[in-house]
Amino acid sequence: MAESILKIENFTMHYMTKAGEVSAVDNVSLEIRKGESLGLVGESGCGKTSLAISIMKLLPENAVIKGGHIYFDGTDLVPLSEDEMRRFRWRRISMIFQAAMNSLNPVYRVSDQIIEAMETHFGNIDYSEAREKVANLFRLVGLDPKFMDQYPHEYSGGMRQRAVIAMALACEPDLIIADEPTTALDVIVQDNILRELKALQEKLGTTMIYISHDIAVIAEVSHRIGIMYAGKLVELADAEEIFHHPIHPYTAGLMSAFPSIIGPKRELVTIPGEPPDLLNPPSGCRFHPRCQYATEICREKEPEFKDYGSGHMASCWNPLEG
C-alpha cells in the first residue's frame, strides 16, 4: 500500500467580499496516495479551484483559512509563512493553470521561463545543462525542442499547453495539480493531451490532481474521483465505483446528465435548479433544495462524510442503494 502524500483534514476557507463572507470551501477532507491520480469534478463555483490554490497557498488577499490542515508529506502547510511555502512551490507541488495561454509571461522566451524555475529551486546551475534539461522536457511532452527559444505568442494553443506542462515538470515535483488543463482547447487536441498526460503520469509516477467540470475528461485520467458541490466534498471513490455505484444523488445526477454516443437514445435528465449562493448557503445538506430524495433531516443537519466500504466515501442522509 503506497503511503499518502497529501492529506487534507477538515479544511475550510472563506472569501471576504464587499457583499459578505463567501463559504468557498467547507470542511473538506481527503487523502491521496503516492502515484495516484485524483479527479475533482463539480459545477463552476463549487470550490474545486479554490481548493487547488489553497493547497499551494496561492490565495488572494481577501481569502481567509478558517480551519483545518493540509498535510503534504507529513508537513502541515496551513500555518507556514510565505517564505516557507516558497520552498514547496514548484519544487514539491506544481500547478498547470486553467487557460494556460496566459500563464506564460509574454516578454520572455519559453526556455528562459522554465530555466528561471529551475534556477530558483536548484540554485547555481550551469546554463547549457539547464538548456539540455529543457530540451528533454520538451521531448517528453511532445514538443520539438527547436521551438524552445521562441516567445509564447508564437506558439499555438496546444503547444502552449504542452509548454506549461513541461514547465510544471521542470523541478520534478511530487504532486502536480492540473486545473482544467484542456478546457480552452479543441476536442482533438484535448484528447491528445489527456492521453499524453496520463502516460506521463504513469511513466514518472507523479501524483496528480485533475480538476474539471467535464466528467468525461475526469473519467479518462483518474484512478479516484471526488465530487464537489457548493464548497463541500460530497463523494469520493474509485473511478469504477463512482460510475457504477454512485451513492450521493448529485453524483447520480451527474452520471445521467452525461449523454452517451453508444446505446439507445434516452432523454437527458438534468438536475433542476441552480447552484446555491455561497454567501448564504442552504442549511443542513447544501444539496437538499435540488435533491429529489430530500427529507426533513436533510434540511436540518449536515450529513457526515463517512466510509461506505473499501474507501468509498460520501455524505448523505439518504444514500442510493445498488
The footprint of other proteins (CB under 8 A) covers 56, 58, 82, 85-91, 94-95, 97, 99, 102-107, 116-117, 119-121, 123-127, 130, 151, 153
Q: Are 234 and 316 in contact (CB under 8 A)?
A: yes
CB of 91 or CB of 224, closer to other proteins: 91
Q: At residue 9, what is the residue type?
A: E
Q: Which is nearer to other proteins, 79 or 106 (CB)?
A: 106
Using CA atoms, how far residue 23 sits from 26, 27, 301, in Å, is 7, 10, 17
For residue 167, give the C-alpha cell.
Answer: 514547465
Name which of 118 and 239 has its Cβ closer to other proteins: 118
Shortest CB 103 distance to other proteins, Å = 4
Phi, psi of 70 (to 5 degrees): -125, 105
Q: Are 40 and 48 in contact (CB under 8 A)?
A: yes
Residue whose C-alpha is closest to residue 234's, from 269, 271, 195: 271
| Number of neighbouring beta carbons within 10 Å of residue 276 | 19
What is the nearest approach in angstroms of other proteins to the Cβ of residue 211? 14
Nearest approach in angstroms of CB 195 to other proteins is 25
Q: How far is the CB of 141 from other proteins (least distance, A)?
A: 17
**How many C-beta atoms lie closer than 10 Å to residue 186's C-beta?**
10
Distance CA 85, CA 53 (A): 12
Nearest 10 degrees: Cα torsion 20, 287, 99, 123: 80
Q: How far is the CB of 52 from other proteins (least distance, A)?
A: 10
Residues in the chain: 322
One-letter amino acid for residue 152 of the chain: P
Is the CB of 58 or the CB of 269 nearer to other proteins? 58
- Sign of the C-alpha dihedral computed for residues 197, 200, 202 and 206 taken in this order: negative
**Least Cβ distance, residue 232 to other proteins (angstroms):** 25
Which of residues 130 and 208 has its CB atom nearest to other proteins in the complex?
130
Residue 89 or 162 having the CB closest to other proteins:
89
Min dist CB 105 to other proteins, Å, is 5
Q: Which is nearer to other proteins, 56 or 230 (CB)?
A: 56
